[in-house]
Amino acid sequence: MPEPLVRVEDLCIDFGSARIIDGFSFHIRSGETVALVGESGCGKSMSALALARLVPEPAGRYAGGRVMFEGRNILEMSERDIRRLRGNKIAYVFQEPGASLNPVMRVGDQIAEALRLHRGREGVRDEVIRLLEMVGIPDPANRRRSYPHQLSGGQQQRVMIAMALACRPKLLVADEPTTALDVTVQAQILDLLQKIQRESGTAILLITHNLGLVAGRADRVYVMYAGCLAESGPVEKVLRDPRHPYTRALLKAVPRLNHKGGRLPGIPGNVPSADAMPDGCRFHPRCALSDRLCAEVPPPVEAVENEHCVACHHWKRSNAKT
Amino acid sequence: MSIAWPAITGKDPMPKLEKNLLEMDALQVHYGPVCAVNGVSINIGAGECVALVGESGCGKTSLSRAVLGLEKISGGRVFFDGKNISDYDADDWKKYRERVQMIFQDPAESLNPRITVGGALNEVLKVCRKMPAAERLKETESLLKTVGLDADLAVRYPHELSGGQKQRVGIARALAVNPDLIIADEPVSALDVSVQVQILNLLLDLQQARGMALLLIAHDLAVVRYMCRRIYIMNRGEIMESGTADQIFENPSHPYTRALLDAVPDVDRGRD
């Protein structure tokens, strides 16, 4: 198997004395869509930021592990080298397009910025128009002169995607790209990301708190809980045969159209705060399967089959009630 | 969505209610020349849970604000308990606002960052329910417990709470006056899926236990399915379709409703 585009090994990130990412490993192959799923505060955004060494320092600190991108460790690169990567080979789309765009700059100029920086000045105008057209903005030649407030939320997110794609990145990190948007617009934006990936072969890391979103939209999924891996594997496997109690609980929490009457099963309790992580398995205080072993020993990551991995002492009791 | 859908006229599939708590009759709200709400009629019975579903900009928030008297009504009428709210005097308004409460979308923005959780609840109890200090303290504790929060949280400030906890405080504040109707404007769209469920279950439990009416405003049809008996679908300031939850989900007659249903992410769908 060829070396993947990105390989993160045993990543640890500290904020103050709290370890918010604890030995998290994952990889993304070229042209693949990988989803990273978990609740707020589970460390999924921080893991994604680490891919371009964007964790805010010195508040945050890389405490261990490696982030290998095309064979080089990003955490040990010079500032100069890494600036050549950011926005060029690794690009980000964030949750709130309104907050990520510069309100006093025309959207076309914002897209052009990255192009000028990484690709030179030739043909920038035409390229901007082409990009806007690609992300489905009508009348791109005129729309590029719009300011962000003149666009709807969905269009703003399309501009963000155009900006991220300007330099034809190898990896596009989409951090909750649709959470701030309506459901209908959400479907359009996700369709757009899929279309782009098919056409350009860009690898996509899709970050979301909604496990329901990844069905049919990603190849593989990593479910994170409190800075650790809970379960990972091909999307169909994880959705059809989830082995970790947390994955099962997340799946049950997704509102479905065919669910009527009665309450939806929630997940009892809250995500532990970073400075009060429970010992052993970090999910055990909220888990119906937990016993003394769970409270004392962190579960190892075990393979269910092929690429399907789970970090739970009791994953074999897959039919157990959770 | 840029297509203008025709409104369905002629038939009214809504079951008739015996007595309406809140009745909107051809309600209109204008912002200058822009018509945000155009002739909307919605009825809510006492103790009933009704959903209003539509995308951003469809006018659902303007509508709820108009009902609360926070926005000027430019046409049509709103009746509460059979009385037109346009005829209210200052006293009536005061009583009305104690009987109708609102829960907002962004819990962080609807709480004062410089007032503790206990302080926020205390204020309502003091101003609206004129409780003596000792009783207020006890009631604050019981309100926090009702919404599933630790009584210790009373001394915390909003920034110390998670999104879900803040939304629970917003609900506790609305409950503090024992309202007959709660209008919840996208109460969960800013929250994680797992927390959404907790908040929706809480609203459902409270609605049933206290016999309150609930107008749940949302953009995601999947969210309202299990909560509400009746659903109104709104687009561009008008009601496109209305009916019982079963009618809307199993037999949607309006293309816009179908478009909304199609947009809901489906866990069970395969990769194409």
Contact B266 A257 (CB under 8 A): yes
Determine which of A44, A184, A224, A248 to mutate to test the interface with B (most B C-beta atoms within 10 Å): A184
Tens of pLDDT, residues A23-65: 999 999 999 999 999 888 888 999 999 999 999 988 899 999 9
Confidence category of residue A205, pLDDT binned at 50, 70, 90: very high
Per the CB < 8 A criterion, the answer to whether A66 and A10 are in contact is yes
* pLDDT value for A261: 59
Question: B208 in contact with A at a CB cutoff of 8 Å?
Answer: no
Task: Please indicate whether residue B268 or residue B6 has the higher confidence score (pLDDT).
Answer: B268
Residue A222, CB half-sphere, CA atoms under 13 Å: how many?
Answer: 25
What are the boundaries of each domain within chain A?
A: 6-89+200-271+300-310
Tens of pLDDT, residues A158-173: 999 999 999 999 999 9
Phi-psi region of B256 (alpha: psi -120 to 50; beta: other; left: phi over 0): alpha
Question: B149 in contact with A at a CB cutoff of 8 Å?
Answer: no
Between residues 29 and 88 of chain A, which touch chain B (CB distance below 8 Å)?
Answer: 39-41
Average pLDDT along chain A:
89
Rounded to whole angstroms, how far apart are CA atoms A307 and A200? 26
Rounded to whole angstroms, how far apart are CA atoms B249 and B263? 13
Closest CA to A272 of A228, A320, A212: A228
pLDDT at A192 over 60: yes
Distance from the Cα of B233 to chain A's closest Cα (Å) equals 14
- Residue A212 has its nearest CB partner, among B197, B259, B265, at B265
**How many C-beta atoms lie closer than 10 Å to residue B9's C-beta?**
6
Closest CA to A196 of A222, A158, A234: A158
- Residue A257 has its nearest CB partner, among B57, B201, B222, at B222
- pLDDT (average), residues A91-104: 89
- Residue A186 has its nearest CB partner, among B164, B221, B263, at B263
Per the CB < 8 A criterion, the answer to whether A135 and A109 are in contact is no
Contact B226 A40 (CB under 8 A): no
* pLDDT value for A32: 93
- pLDDT (average), residues A174-200: 87
Tens of pLDDT, residues A131-149: 999 898 889 999 999 999 9
3-state secondary structure of A137: coil
Tens of pLDDT, residues B194-217: 888 888 889 998 898 999 999 999
Is the CATH number 3.30.470.10 carried by domain A6-89+200-271+300-310?
no
Per the CB < 8 A criterion, the answer to whether A182 and A217 are in contact is no
Kindly list the strands in the beta sheet with B213-218, ordered across the sheet, starting from the edge strand earlier in the chain.
B100-103, B181-185, B213-218, B49-53, B230-235, B238-244
Complex prediction ipTM: 0.73
Average pLDDT along chain B:
87
Question: B197 in contact with A at a CB cutoff of 8 Å?
Answer: yes
Closest CA to A178 of A254, A99, A95: A95
Residue positions counted in chain A: 322
Contact B198 A266 (CB under 8 A): yes
Please name the residue ranges forming H helices in A135-215: 140-143, 153-165, 183-200
Rounded to whole angstroms, how far apart are CA atoms A195 and A204? 12
On chain A, the residues whose CB falls within 8 A of the CB of B270 are 215-216, 236
Per the CB < 8 A criterion, the answer to whether B231 and B244 are in contact is yes
* pLDDT value for B1: 40
- The contacts of residue A138 (CB under 8 Å, 6+ apart) are none
Q: Residues A293-315, buried b or exposed e (16+ Cβ, 10 A)? A: ebeeebbebeebeeebbbbbbbb
Question: A138 in contact with B at a CB cutoff of 8 Å?
Answer: no
Rounded to whole angstroms, how far apart are CA atoms B4 and B237? 11
- CATH of range B20-263; options 3.40.50.1700, 3.40.50.300, 2.40.50.150, 3.10.450.40: 3.40.50.300
* pLDDT value for B80: 94
Tens of pLDDT, residues B70-115: 999 999 999 999 999 999 999 999 999 889 999 988 888 889 999 9
Contact B201 A264 (CB under 8 A): yes
Q: Are strands A220-225 and A33-37 parallel, antiparallel or unpaired?
A: parallel
On chain B, the residues whose CB falls within 8 A of the CB of A186 are 263, 265
Tens of pLDDT, residues A225-268: 999 999 999 999 999 999 999 999 888 888 777 766 567 777 87
pLDDT at B191 over 90: no
* pLDDT value for A68: 95
Nearest CA in chain B to A234: B271
